[in-house]
Amino acid sequence: MKLHLPAYPEGIHEIHESVEPRELELDTSQFPNPVEANLRLDRHDPYLDFRILLETSASAECDRCLEPIELKLTAKSPMLYVFGHPPEGDEVDDTEIAYIRAGTTELDMSAQLRDLLILAYSGRHLCSDDCKGLCPTCGANLNLDSCECHAEKRHTDFDN
Ligand SMILES: [Zn+2]
Ligand SMILES: [Zn+2]
């Protein structure tokens, strides 16, 4: 996603764009749907001060039963771009600040947006909090079936 900076003079701007996952170099098997990007830009040179809100739905599989599920993803973050060079000798490892060349007219935010979405995607995915998962012996989906081995195992557990 690129912003043509001369279109945004000093002041506050609300920017809405629907971005194709391909454009952000996201895996389209995980991110099949457009990403709704809502940006609030407060420009006061040399600062481009963003509040980013991203919304999309992603595809995943349940960590327990492996059924496909759709995730509603929301990612929210501030992001500050600064015209110029980082202060001398200062190691910048803050992911929420980036330095851009003075005079830049096309601001490519794709890498930052991609990172936010990948972070929002990470973590546990369950089809429901009480998903029963797969039988470790026969692989049956225990949300749909109760298999013989499962019944026996429960029985054993009960005996112990
Ligand atoms: Zn599940
Ligand atoms: Zn089983």
Identify the residue with better confidence: 153 or 12: 12
Question: Counting runs of H as helices and runs of E as strands, what totals does the chain give?
Answer: 2, 7
**Residue 34 C-alpha to ligand 1 middle, in angstroms?**
25
- Helix, strand and coil in the chain, % to nearest 5: 20, 40, 40
Asked if residue 18 has pLDDT above 50, the reply is yes
**Residue 123 C-alpha to ligand 1 middle, in angstroms?**
15
* Concatenated DSSP letters of 55-70: EEEEEEE-TTT--EEE
Asked if residue 87 has pLDDT above 70, the reply is yes
Amino acid type, 143: N
Question: For position 146, what pLDDT does the model report?
Answer: 85
Tell me the pTM.
0.82
User: At residue 74, what are phi and psi to the nearest 5 degrees?
Assistant: -130, 130
Asked if residue 58 has pLDDT above 90, the reply is yes
**Residue 59 C-alpha to ligand 2 middle, in angstroms?**
27
Question: For position 157, what pLDDT does the model report?
Answer: 52
Question: For position 148, what pLDDT does the model report?
Answer: 86
